[in-house]
Structure 1
């Protein structure tokens, strides 16, 4: 049941640390939880004197919404002339009367230094669980290459010249993209959620080959399961092509998990649990440390480092087994041996705070190196929407506290 009208204005009195913060600083106050937040990379397109309208899908409901903007991977200061947020009607159109101006230390504009991020003042609006909100950024000056999340599997809308943040209609937004630009998070004072679960991984977590705008990734399906008797927010911190041990040669695939984990997993407001599903790109690309071939012991050492980071921060980390990938373009028999050895360690070592056996949920019983055909998107690496649901269904919700 909804705890408030979606368009209700709430009188929220908070003393908050807002404004420009370093990339390593968590901007939170009170019992806040992150309800949405993609990991950001370098290599996005440049914008100038344009407005970008983006859709974010909340994983739980709350009040006092704040937005996070990132110039983390930028090389020049980012000027943001105006920001608005509202509820999505359809496409780039907002529900009538829902748009709210967003302010930063009571100002409508903000300049974000290269390598930094900002958090808005609390916005007098509430959001519901699984609410589509639209955030519009007016960028008055050349941005340089955007800090962005390349594979959003969600449509963004780009205007021609000018500030169109206050327009409820869609007519000014003539171009569509499928990335998120500069928008790196939403957090709330939750109605019910006890904390945030961060799904940390690669393209399988990111949602590759799932339908655009349908929110059929496995973290989305997990959020829907948790919305019942286990109220928790879920944030998807997957990046397509990401690896545990080495940076990907394509910058938009992100720096290695070892380097991004503090920011992309531990820094979210309210994080209590992390689900780690990563390593298949290390294996498929035979990418061990310092240019060496990948081995299971090297991958396991990477997992141990991430476990230690989580525990030092007082956060639980749950290990997920890597999915079968025989038939994928970068499959090798020697790589399969590494996957099997690493998965066996995940299952039996006791190093994680809990285990999710995605491999067992997805594999073909007749050939365990292969994904079940009914779950295969067609590339033998990424599950389809049914496979994503099967992954979410394989999670024991009691693991998430």
Structure 2
């Protein structure tokens, strides 16, 4: 079967070519180094999710970003990305510190981040660089703050739109400020910028264990969860693994609005394009949980199409599952396990149609019965409310799990239910 694959814009196509030049992640994961946090990069865009700073970029500004690491270590490394930049990115300097709430950091934890011994570094267009080791011991589930300072205009910024965490900016160089005062002048952003990942050095036998990559769309990104609380389903899954005595980092490779088959200028390269980079490009990955397909189904039926959703092609269940097969083949060729996740209900959202429900049902039946995966997690059955026998297609998310925003995404309880549904032995 021919897999339908559509590129939306020429600028996006150029950006995707740049992505292919990203430095191999293996260069950042030798010996005792392990992935502890990551975010999938996106091309600069104005999206309908949140206002962001990606198109304007930065100049003579400090950008302070909060993340949570998923593994302990005696040292850390910061990964800087210019994956979608069209010109070299000049970073004047950076720091990393333990978070003290909001834009504040713990004063005694502030460390300078260096690249090849220098505070400043230039990242070529389309590339990613790892910093030198930074002597900052961290614990699993500890929040860190990374602060970048740019003394010249960056141009449009490679970013990650739906961070579900706050980032802050300030005029001038405030990378070593412990207080949040300088960052309070304007509203924060719900996105991350130029930040691809954080690695930790763990010298214990066995290290942090093979990472799990949660790959998908906004249901993986955590849209609808409490911002800043780290309650996305990958976060909750990492907590379960730790509580069960088998701690492993769970890396979030979700992109809000992402699709299996089609690129989008707003919602990132398709899963077919980015899977090798965002899931398999981390050499310490052992398992991928694949949850994607909702947007392929619903976007063509958007009741109010905008520049992000207009022109989305209608696709069949067979086309979506052919895309899944390709991703599974790629993972297995790298020795990586794949857990297939069924697509949750979306009746009650503005995007529901009977056609879309038929496609979702067929896709989920294939996930459960095809045997293509190394395991299956049935999010659909865990999250679905009992159907009305008179209207069997009108399946909704259980009220206690549905986000009040749209009945398409989950709330904190819903994302926890998703994490609880994963068989830890399948990982």
**TM-score calculated relative to the size of structure 2:** 0.85
Counterpart in the other structure of 2:127? 116
Q: Is this contact kept in 1: 2:23–2:128, CA < 8 A?
A: no
Which of 203, 223, 232 is matched with 1:208 structurally?
223
Is there any run of 5+ residues in structure 2 with no aligned partner, and where?
Answer: 1-19, 45-53, 302-310
Q: Which residue of 2 aligns with 1:386?
A: 413
Q: Which of 152, 156, 165 is equivalent to 2:175? A: 165
Local SS of the residue matching 1:311: helix
Q: Which of the residues 399, 412, 426 maps onto 1:373?
A: 399
Instruction: Name the counterpart of 2:367.
Output: 346
Deviation, 1:32, is 2.6
1:223 aligns with 2:238: yes
Q: Aligned to 2:86, what secondary structure does the other structure show?
A: coil
Aligned with residue 378 of structure 2, among 353, 357, 361? 357
Using a 3 Å threshold, how does the CA distance of structure 1 residues 135 and 331 change in structure 2: closer, same or farther?
Answer: same
Quote the Cα distance in structure 1 between the aligned partners of 2:197 and 2:368.
32
1:292–1:150 CA distance, 2 compared to 1 (3 A):
closer
Give the SS at the match of 1:305: helix
Distance 1:269 1:54 in 2: 25
Write out aligned runs for 1:77-116 (5 A). Answer: 77-116=88-127
- Which consecutive aligned stretches of 4+ in structure 1 deviate over 4 angstroms post-superposition? none
Tell me if structure 1 keeps the 8 A contact 2:289–2:340.
yes
- Given the alignment of the two structures, is residue 240 of structure 1 paired with residue 256 of structure 2, yes or no? yes
Q: Any residues of structure 2 matched to 1:8-19 within 5 Å, and which?
A: none
Distance 1:227 1:64 in 2: 20
Q: Tell me the secondary structure at the aligned position of residue 74 of structure 2.
A: strand
Q: CA RMSD in A?
A: 1.6
Q: Corresponding residue for 2:62?
A: 51
CA distance in 1, matches of 2:212, 2:364: 22
Q: How far apart in 1 are the matches of 2:417 and 2:246?
A: 19
Give the C-alpha shift of residue 22 in structure 1: 4.3
Post-superposition CA distance 1:294-336 (Å, at most 9, x none): 1111001000010011111111111000001112111111111
Contact kept, 8 Å, 1:86 with 1:135, in 2: the verdict is: yes
The residue aligned with 2:49 is none
The structure richer in strand per residue is: 1
Question: What's the TM-score, normalizing by structure 1?
Answer: 0.90
For residues 191-233 of structure 1, the C-alpha deviation after alignment (integer angstroms, 9 at most, x for no partner) is 5521211100001110112111111110110011111212110
User: What is the total number of aligned residue pairs between the two structures?
Assistant: 375
Per-residue deviation, residues 65-88 of structure 1 (Å, max 9, x unmatched): 111010101111110001100101
Contact 2:165 2:191 in 1 (8 A): yes
1:267 deviates by 1.1
For 1:2-81, list aligned pairs within 5 A: 22-23=21-22, 25-26=24-25, 27-43=28-44, 44=54, 45-81=56-92
Q: Is the 8 A contact 1:24 1:263 kept in 2?
A: no
Q: Which moved more, 1:54-63 or 1:133-142?
A: 54-63
